[in-house]
Amino acid sequence: MNKTINGKYDSDEQARNTEEDLIATGIPRDNVYRDKPNQVIKVSVPAETEREIQEIFTRHGIHFDR
């Protein structure tokens, strides 16, 4: 079952770099959504990959709820 993980970003560059990293690790582009007005990246992935997404967010300084 998929889970959506949300992370708040501070700049467009930070968001672009995070998106590129997510896609490079094999997350399908269609599963990564950037909500520009709210500065939030949303990623829909199987629950077992949540930790990997959180690590990518942390590496790029993206803030997410723990």
9-58 residue pLDDT tens: 999 999 999 999 999 999 999 999 999 999 999 999 999 999 999 999 99
> How would residue 65 be classed by pLDDT, with cut points 50, 70 and 90?
confident
In whole angstroms, what is the distance from residue 20 CA to residue 2 CA? 20
Domains of the chain: 2-59 (3.30.1370)
In whole angstroms, what is the distance from residue 3 CA to residue 36 CA? 21
In whole angstroms, what is the distance from residue 36 CA to residue 24 CA? 21
In whole angstroms, what is the distance from residue 51 CA to residue 10 CA? 21
**Which residue type sits at 11?**
S
pLDDT of residue 62: 96
Quote the distance between the C-alpha of residue 34 and its chain's center: 8
pLDDT at 66 over 70: no
